[in-house]
Amino acid sequence: MSMLEERLREIGQDHIADLVKIGSPLISLKRLEQDLQEIDSKTLVDLIKGKGMFTPPKGEIEPPEVIPAAFAVTQDARVSRDRGETLITQGKVAVVMVAGGQGSRLGLGGPKGELEISPVKKKSLFQLHSEKILALERRYNVEIPFLIMTSRANDTETRRFFEYNAFFGLDRDNVHFFVQGMIPSITKEGKLVISRDGGLFMNPDGHGGTLDALAKSGLLKMIGDRGVDLVFYFQVDNPLIKMCDPLFIGLHAEKGAQMSSKVVEKRGFDEKVGVIAKVDGRTRVIEYSDLGEEYMYLEDIDGRPVYRAGSIAIHVLDRKFIEDIVLKQTNLPYHKAIKSIPTIDQDGRPVEIMGIKFEKFIFDALPFAERSLTLEVKREEEFAPVKNKTGEDSVESAIILQNRLFRSWLERAGSMVEDDVKVEISPLFALDVEDLLSRASEVPSRISQDLYIE
Ligand code: UTP
């Protein structure tokens, strides 16, 4: 019996072992071996047996402590912001962008980061994010390591895109790609599924895979060697990201937090978004589907949802906290989803079956933090996710939101922007409204046609 066949039998996958034994053309030994190498036997058996799965928290749920968005304009905020700026200037901060997802709701073939998203110049998400980092490097006269998580399906294309675009002006030595892990799907009966290329059907292991992938790639050590203490984490699909927000970083450091989160106020009781709450004294995200109605519809004295701190997947994590999680092999739980899985039938014909896909979520690291900070920000200033083809959270809505924000900055700088005109400000001209106000004299007093300011 070959080693491959033996391993498959050991983990109860005789249906594939039999195909290996007879040398079935439905199987590619190379692919199968490569796929099985991705995952250790214990994790695989756990998955099949349903161990290590996420279970909704059962403890006492309490509202979280949240720093309100209004704090940003106070005198105290200035002190925290200064602290954040100092940390950035000292090279203590690295950026991690996760871009390994499949963008299935958008039906994308390639990386989401290539989507043309800015209102006038149609810059890609990758370009916008890179230019924000470049602008910060110039502002603080520092090099900021930019770590980009990809996955098997989009790694080559992502690297090619950056190469082709000369890293959007960044020093290529500061841009590091790392590939996240893959995880096999199973049937409802706990059987691995053969993919159409003769291996196993697998998907990227979720943004919760970031921590392991950072360690495995050696990049966690690399940033440690460079003196980085903090990681600014964000997701590729938000063009309004306030990159390395100094206020957020400063507050995190002042509190001695290990993992911090940004939130926006939920639009209403029913908005389908995970909320930050405290469970048994630890801060965590409770997904919409896990928040019982008694909490979801709980009102405060102003009639607003008590649990209104909607998570927007922007975090600061201590490098040491990540190291701890990885070293102690604190496995983040897997979340299950029943999804359609492309496979082949016994005659090799393509078919779709309903099976179980697994994913880990980054926010499941939160309850491991002894200290955590939650900062509320204004949705219209910092959050325009691109998830769907049309309507809410689409390219179209993200363009409208960016345009609206730039327009508001220009109006504050004294410019009159005519209706139906699109405006865009390069991050290299002004990263935020304060930057723009300091350059107000360079801005036209009246804007009557689409304008890109660089
Ligand atoms: P989403 O969960 O919205 O997934 O990821 P997605 O791939 O963008 O879109 P759908 O759900 O397939 O339609 C949020 C962020 O997390 C990243 C994505 O690239 C996106 O930036 N992500 C998600 C990963 O990096 N790896 C994963 O395995 C999943």
The string of DSSP letters for 90-132 reads TT-EEEEEE-----GGGT-SS-GGGSB-STTT--BHHHHHHHH
**Distance of alpha carbon 97 from alpha carbon 111, whole angstroms:** 13
Contact 393, 401 (CB under 8 A): no
Q: Walk along the chain (454 residues) in steps of 10 and give the mean pLDDT of each run.
A: 89 93 93 90 87 90 97 97 98 98 88 97 98 98 98 97 98 98 94 95 96 97 98 98 98 98 97 96 95 95 97 98 92 92 90 94 97 98 96 97 98 96 98 97 97 98
For ligand 1, the distance from its centroid to the CA atom of residue 387, given in whole angstroms, is 9
For ligand 1, the distance from its centroid to the CA atom of residue 201, given in whole angstroms, is 18
SS3 395: helix
**Distance of alpha carbon 311 from alpha carbon 174, whole angstroms:** 29
Residue 64: DSSP 8-state: P
Residue 259: DSSP 8-state: E
Atom of ligand 1 nearest to the CA of 98: 25
| Ligand 1 binding pocket mutation candidate from 126, 207, 236 (most atoms within 8 A of CB) | 207
SS3 192: strand
* Dihedral angle over CA of 409, 266, 94, 256, nearest 10: 110
**Distance of alpha carbon 336 from alpha carbon 357, whole angstroms:** 6
Atom of ligand 1 nearest to the CA of 204: 28
- In the chain, what are the domain boundaries? 38-55+65-262+308-369, 388-454
For ligand 1, the distance from its centroid to the CA atom of residue 105, given in whole angstroms, is 10
Per-residue model confidence (pLDDT) at position 80: 98
Residue indicated by tokens 């979801």: 296
DSSP string, 129-165: HHHHHHHHHHHHT----EEEEE-TTTHHHHHHHHHHT
Atom of ligand 1 nearest to the CA of 235: 21
Strand partners, 204: 182
- The pTM score is 0.97
Strand partners, 354: 340
Beta 93-98 vs 230-235: how paired, if at all? parallel
Closest CA to 325 of 283, 364, 278, 280: 364
Residue indicated by tokens 């204004």: 378
Tokens of 19: 């195909």
**Distance of alpha carbon 257 from alpha carbon 65, whole angstroms:** 13
Per-residue model confidence (pLDDT) at position 52: 87
Phi, psi of 132 (to 5 degrees): -65, -40
Neighbour tally for 370: CB within 10 Å: 13
Contact 125, 236 (CB under 8 A): yes
| Ligand 1 binding pocket mutation candidate from 97, 102, 112, 150 (most atoms within 8 A of CB) | 102
CA dist list (Å): 385 to 239, 288, 312, 389: 7, 17, 9, 12
Q: Report whether residue 387 contacts ligand 1, using a CB cutoff of 6 Å.
A: yes
SS3 54: coil
Atom of ligand 1 nearest to the CA of 150: 25
Q: Report whether residue 112 contacts ligand 1, using a CB cutoff of 6 Å.
A: yes
For ligand 1, the distance from its centroid to the CA atom of residue 143, given in whole angstroms, is 27
Per-residue model confidence (pLDDT) at position 107: 86
For ligand 1, the distance from its centroid to the CA atom of residue 247, given in whole angstroms, is 26
**Distance of alpha carbon 433 from alpha carbon 408, whole angstroms:** 9
Atom of ligand 1 nearest to the CA of 206: 28
Q: Report whether residue 204 contacts ligand 1, using a CB cutoff of 6 Å.
A: yes
Per-residue model confidence (pLDDT) at position 157: 98
Residue indicated by tokens 């995190």: 252
**Distance of alpha carbon 347 from alpha carbon 378, whole angstroms:** 55
Output the CA angle 379-73-139, nearest 5 degrees: 85
Contact 417, 411 (CB under 8 A): yes
Per-residue model confidence (pLDDT) at position 297: 97
Per-residue model confidence (pLDDT) at position 141: 98
Contact 359, 288 (CB under 8 A): no
Task: List the residue whose alpha carbon is closest to atom 27 of ligand 1.
Answer: 206
**Distance of alpha carbon 242 from alpha carbon 112, whole angstroms:** 19
**Distance of alpha carbon 408 from alpha carbon 414, whole angstroms:** 10
Q: Report whether residue 180 contacts ligand 1, using a CB cutoff of 6 Å.
A: yes
Per-residue model confidence (pLDDT) at position 57: 86
* Topology annotation, domain 38-55+65-262+308-369: Spore Coat Polysaccharide Biosynthesis Protein SpsA; Chain A (3.90.550)
| Ligand 1 binding pocket mutation candidate from 387, 390, 392 (most atoms within 8 A of CB) | 387
Per-residue model confidence (pLDDT) at position 361: 97
Atom of ligand 1 nearest to the CA of 101: 7
For ligand 1, the distance from its centroid to the CA atom of residue 361, given in whole angstroms, is 10
